[in-house]
Homo-oligomer: A and B are copies of this chain.
Amino acid sequence: MTIDGTARRADARRNVESILEAATALLATDPAVSVNEIARAAGVGRVTLYGHFPSRAALVEAVSRRVIASTDQALDAVDLDGDAREAMARLLAATWQLTYRFGAIVVAASDALTPEEMRRVHEEPARRMRALVERGRDEGVFRRDMPLSWQLTTVQAVLHGASAAVHRGDVPADDATRLVTDTVLAALAVTSSG
């Protein structure tokens, strides 16, 4: 292995990383963004980009795989122990960030992903949410006069409503975590009748 070869490989790794970062940021807000715009934002030429990713579809696929891996990591990092309401606030904040930042990318890439990958994208967050709502119900801090499945429907509906409202410009993105969290916790909370 020559010094030249090592330097070239380090360069290539940096370029791939820059391309993936730029593509992730741009695809999240504009799923139709062009390869030229991605190359420009990454600070590489078109030829370099196509040297690493032979087609736009291959790049979108690589971006979505990376997003899925970082989603799993982000959810794994959420502390789900302790008071169920506080754990729910942490899980909602993480889930909201992922929904808002990466939702469009996963939709754009859905043709390229395997059924197993699509299942992971949708079911992993849902599985954690279900387990936490169940624990809150068992511990008496979340209401039990509604079916668990309805409560999960409500959480999903509020997350998607928030994403649409932010993209429409009705709600500032910085306020969304607090609004989603306060609204879901209020909907789940035990009431005098619950």
A153 is contacted by which of B145, B146, B171 (Cβ under 8 Å)? B171
A157 is contacted by which of B147, B161, B175, B189 (Cβ under 8 Å)? B161
CA distance A191 to B85 in the complex (A): 15
One of A7-15, A46-54, A95-103, A179-187 contacting the partner: A179-187
For the complex, is A107 an interface residue (Cβ under 8 Å from B)?
no
Contact between chains at A146 and B179 (CB < 8 Å): yes
Report A130-175 residues with CB < 8 Å from chain B CB: 143, 145-147, 149-150, 153-154, 156-158, 160-162, 164-165, 170-171, 175
A150 contacts which chain B residues (CB < 8 A)? 165, 170-171, 175, 179, 183
